[in-house]
Amino acid sequence: MNLAIIGTGYVGLTTGTCFAEVGHKVICVDNNEAKVQSLREGKMPIYEPDLEEMIVSNVSAGRLEFTTDLAAAVRECEIVFIAVPTPPHEDGSVDLSYIEGVSREIAESLTPDMGYRILVDKSTVPVSTGSKVHQVIDRYAPAGVDIDVVSNPEFLREGSAVYDLLNPDRIVIGADSQRAMDMMKRVYQPFNAPIVEVDLASAELIKHAANSFLALKISYINAVSAVCEKAGADVELVAMGIGMDKRISRHFLNAGLGYGGSCFPKDVKGFINVAEQLGAPMEILKEVERVNEAQIERFLGRIRKKMWVLRKKRIAVWGIAFKQNTDDVRESVAVKLIKRLCEEGAHVTAYDPKAAETGAAALSGYDVTICDDMYECVRDAEVLVVATEWKQFAMANLVKVRELMRLPILFDGRNIIHGENALHAGFEYHSVGRRTLRPTKS
Ligand code: UDX
Ligand code: UDX
């Protein structure tokens, strides 16, 4: 099938590429000319495992192309996906101006002789956005165009986006017409995954409700981690024990510094806002946010207590990205932590395998040195903080790290270091929701 994707960000680019990979002919559209030009030259705007190879092979197979010409893509493609940003406003409500703008542009590109078109929303949007998009089409498209609006939310995680797209647990399609539903099912036929066929509004709600529930799971285990710290229990064992109950599951029960990224913070806010607007407030999600904020504060408090004064302390931070396997630093808890440490006068060095460049931009104006080697980063440091769950931090040579550091103090904000190994290397090992391990002589 001929598919157009508007917006070649994390979601649009990976989605378009995976559609091409399963055999569709895909045109990716973006209004950022420089981005389109560099994609045409084979340069990647983001880091995402396996994406580059897949783009290169699909472009050379003639199944994937990049353009800024939205109208031409709409002319050629029977299905047009929208994957432009939906950032939060100050008050938590969702900024739908990009969605509205693109919908209007699509409407103005439609002509009655084109035949049937489906407009699919992939971005996370508040419930009832689909019907507003339909209104825009009715207002701005010439009379006689034949179009349906569909919601098809995406559940990919950055860092494993290609895998998630090709191996989804389920595909949610929200359509109010059988014709649109049948065509959408053809798009997803090669994916071999269960399809959840629902109405437009329910599909929109599924996305907000799913992301908020995952955030709630993380805040739940983080709240439990605070109790564990007081009670001398181990949150990892608690997570294992409750996670083996299939009704709960172990996924998304990793205690740490809290959730970040471009989705959870914004989607929880967005869902709180839309529920309030509808007169059915979700107070429970306000607590989810509160726990998320408290988690980083508690951790900072523990570093402060250990070091007494942070001013002029040399603190090394491993991790800048909001999670592992990505260069994305949007709403990164690691970035927040580094900023807080700098504000308190600490000398911070930071390392991230992929987010050095994006991190430098996010931290501009802060007195932080970004290193290109994880061991160089810890040289003469008095504390090492692990802020992102990259695998290579878990595999680090801790004896070498200990030798390079001035003091043997390790704060693991993601519980990924093996505590006993840290202890054997001579570290005092602090983590989240677990007892601190101290070498016997200290
Ligand atoms: C997406 C969704 O839009 C968001 O709702 C969802 O919750 C997460 O994923 P993402 O792919 O991460 O966002 O956004 P981003 O990486 O910022 O990319 C958006 C792209 O759209 C950019 O390349 C931008 O240039 C492009 N864009 C934006 C357009 O082509 N037209 C516009 O009008 C606005
Ligand atoms: C999320 C959803 O998982 C995905 O389905 C949705 O479509 C987009 O939003 P993403 O934000 O890319 O994906 O990454 P995710 O793996 O969900 O991690 C989000 C944040 O939660 C990260 O900061 C991560 O460190 C944190 N996290 C995740 C935890 O703190 N504990 C966990 O157990 C899992």
Would the CB of 162 count as within 6 Å of ligand 2?
Answer: no
For this structure, is 228 an active site residue?
A: no
End-to-end CA distance of the chain: 67
For ligand 2, the distance from its centroid to the CA atom of residue 37, given in whole angstroms, is: 31
CA 351 to centroid of ligand 2, rounded, Å: 21
Nearest Cα to Cα of residue 236 among 61, 417, 109, 80: 417
Instruction: Give the chain's domains with CATH numbers.
Output: 2-198 (3.40.50.720), 199-442 (3.40.50.720)
Residue 411: partners with Cβ closer than 8 Å, 6 or more residues away: 299, 302, 303, 306, 383, 384, 385, 386, 430, 431
DSSP character for 382?
Answer: S
Residue nearest to atom 16 of ligand 2 (CA): 157
> In ligand 1, which atom is closest to the CA atom of 11?
11
User: What is the number of the ligand closest to the CA of 15?
Assistant: 1
Judged by phi (left if over 0) then psi (alpha if -120 to 50, else beta), residue 62 lies in left
List, in order, residues 6 or more apart from 370 with CB less than 8 Å away. Answer: 320, 349, 350, 351, 352, 356, 359, 360, 363
Q: How far apart are CA 105 and CA 124, in angstroms?
A: 20
Give this prediction's pTM. Answer: 0.94
Protein residue with its CA nearest to atom 7 in ligand 2: 155
Q: What is the pLDDT along the chain (442 residues), one digit of tens a residue?
A: 999 999 999 999 999 999 999 999 999 999 999 999 999 999 999 989 999 999 999 999 999 999 999 999 999 999 999 999 999 999 889 999 999 999 999 999 999 999 999 999 999 999 999 999 999 999 999 999 999 999 999 999 999 999 999 999 999 999 999 999 999 999 999 998 999 999 999 999 999 999 999 999 999 999 999 999 999 999 999 999 999 999 999 999 999 999 999 999 999 999 999 999 999 999 999 999 999 999 999 999 999 999 999 999 999 999 999 999 999 999 999 999 999 999 999 999 999 999 999 999 999 999 999 999 999 999 999 999 999 999 999 999 999 999 999 999 999 999 999 999 999 999 999 999 999 999 986 5
- In this prediction, residue 440 carries a pLDDT of 82
Q: Ligand 1 center to residue 218 CA distance, Å? A: 25
**Residue 431: which of 373, 384, 390, 376 has the closest Cα?**
384
Helix H or strand E segment including 335? helix 333-343
pLDDT at 441: 64
In 3D space, the residue among 188, 160, 197, 193 whose CA is nearest the CA of residue 19 turns out to be 188
99, 133 Cβ separation under 8 angstroms: yes
